[in-house]
Amino acid sequence: MRLYDTARRSVVPFEPPAPPTEVRIYVCGITPYDSTHLGHANTYLAYDLLIRRLEDLGHQVRLVRNITDVDDSILPKARELGVDFLELAAAETVRFHCDMEALNTRPPAAEPKATEWVAEMIALIEVLMSGGHAYTVEDTTWFDVSTWPAYGRLGGYDTAAMRTLAAERGGTPDDPRQRNPLDFVLWQPSAPDEPTWDSPFGPGRPGWHIECSVMSMGLLGAGIDLHGGGSDLIFPHHECELAQSEAAANRQFVKHWMHCGMVAYEGTKMSKSLGNLVFVSDLCKESDPAAVRLALMRHHYRHDWEWHDGDVDEAEALLDSLNEAARRKGPAGGADPAPFAQRLRDALDDDLDAPRARAVLAEMADAVLAGRLDDSAPGLLAELCALCGISLEPDPPSPDPQ
């Protein structure tokens, strides 16, 4: 299998360990303060498809996907709603699980919550402190990027771009207490109504990036086979995770970085602040979740693209044709369908080309319905759909009672 690696900036062989050694994958999870939107679904379905193909190749995959239940976005939302942040997190996590289950995604092997790993975060910051990579000013502790010359190599952005992105995405490049504008927070004081933990650097709460370093290495060890998330996490989140993890562990943190594109709606990137969100739960109420998956498969995971309301109708039509073809009986004399299976697997192995895999499914359904394939084709089509996470309906819809 070949996959694009963000760090190497090219499509390279993905070389997971041979079975029975598990393939260790860490994907940054949600901050549970609002419902799952299509942008999340797009990201998590890409990893789900990857995992299904790896399992199809005989691998065992251990997926860890965290829950960021304490950070700079959940606390203000809990305050606004007048609820405890952990209650908000628990309620939204349940909704997230329902959405992911509806979309037929593989559950992770572990789903750590940041609040349950704070002691380990403090321990990691202490290691960084003793290595000279961190400093505290007025109860805030930063990572000193000048001690890590490789900082910036993952994303490849220049310093000016990193500074702009840091300011947009939760960093504080203009804080005069920092030694360098790109230094990032490891530990910070909590506001009076925010949760707080005691630490050697003063009472407070962790920075966002340290959470994922600790949960990923804590559950998977260093040298993780693949680390992923949306492309908006490349900088600063993953760049910071990488720097502090390698500075602390003194070995390679991640072998392969995989990032997914952003989904736009009504002309701009789907985002909470703009309010242009399409929620998975709403879509799944109106449409078969398998059609939602097929609609997302029209786009390559690395591309940014825009959702249009009619997209799911087109996918419903394809789903109908897949269902009808998978139920078709005979004839016995058509062509062997095996080349379709090979083409589909080749597409997935070519940087997870979901649009090409989807086109193979559509073409195969047409061939079955036109009677051009032998009687093993309907069963094989159902298997290939399952490989892509598309559940077909084994029986036709029951006839109208009248």
Residue numbers at the binding site for Zn ion (CB under 5 A): 28, 212
C-alpha–C-alpha distance, residues 309 and 91, integer Å: 28
Token pair in block for residue 48 = 């789900």
Give the residue with the Cβ less far from Zn ion, 67 or 365. 67
d(CA 224, CA 245): 11
Q: Whole-number minimum distance, CB 233 to Zn ion, in Å?
A: 6
Shortest distance, position 154 Cβ to Zn ion, whole Å: 13
Q: What is the spatial distance between Cα 116 and Cα 298, in angstroms, rounded to a whole number?
A: 38
> Please, which residue, 144 or 241, has the CB nearer to Zn ion?
241
Q: How far apart are CA 49 and CA 64, in angstroms?
A: 15
C-beta closer to Zn ion: residue 54 or 212:
212
Is it true that the peptide bond before 396 is cis, omega within 30 degrees of 0?
no
Shortest gap between Cβ of 209 and Zn ion (angstroms)?
7
Calpha distance 338→213 (Å, rounded): 43
- For 396, phi then psi, to 5°, come to -65, 155
CB of 104 to Zn ion, least distance (A): 24
**Least Cβ distance, residue 192 to Zn ion (angstroms):** 27
Quick check: 96 and 36 in contact, CB under 8 A? yes
CA angle 47, 292, 38 (to 5 degrees): 65
Name which of 212 and 367 has its Cβ closer to Zn ion. 212
Distance in angstroms between the alpha carbons of the first and the last residue of the chain: 52
Residue 16 or residue 29: which is nearer to Zn ion going by CB? 29
- Closer residue to Zn ion (CB): 210 or 212: 212
Comparing CB distances to Zn ion, the nearer of 41 and 392 is 41
Please state, in angstroms and rounded to a whole number, the distance separating the CA atoms of residues 279 and 263: 12
Structure tokens at 245: 């993890």
CB atoms within 10 A of CB 243: 29
The Cα-based distances of 278 to 161, 266, 275, 308, 354 in angstroms read: 29, 10, 9, 10, 21
Q: What are phi and psi of 352, to 5 degrees?
A: 50, 60
Tell me whether residue 118 or residue 392 sits nearer to Zn ion (CB atom). Answer: 118
User: 2: how many CB neighbours lie within 10 A of its CB?
Assistant: 13
Q: Is 75 helix (H, G, I), strand (E, B) or coil?
A: helix
Give the integer Cα–Cα distance in Å for 67 and 92. Answer: 10
Rounded-to-integer distance, Cα 30 and Cα 77, Å: 14
Please report how close the Cβ of residue 207 comes to Zn ion at its closest, in angstroms: 11
Our CB check for Zn ion shows the closer of 215 and 291 to be 215
Q: How far apart are CB 71 and Zn ion at their closest, in Å?
A: 10
Residue 201 Cβ vs Zn ion, minimum distance, rounded to whole Å: 21
Task: State CA 323 to chain mean position distance.
Answer: 29
- Least Å distance, CB 212 to Zn ion, is 3
Residue placing its CB nearer to Zn ion in the complex, 7 or 28: 28
CA atoms of 248 and 282, how far apart (whole Å):
43
User: Minimum CB separation from Zn ion for residue 245, in Å?
Assistant: 11
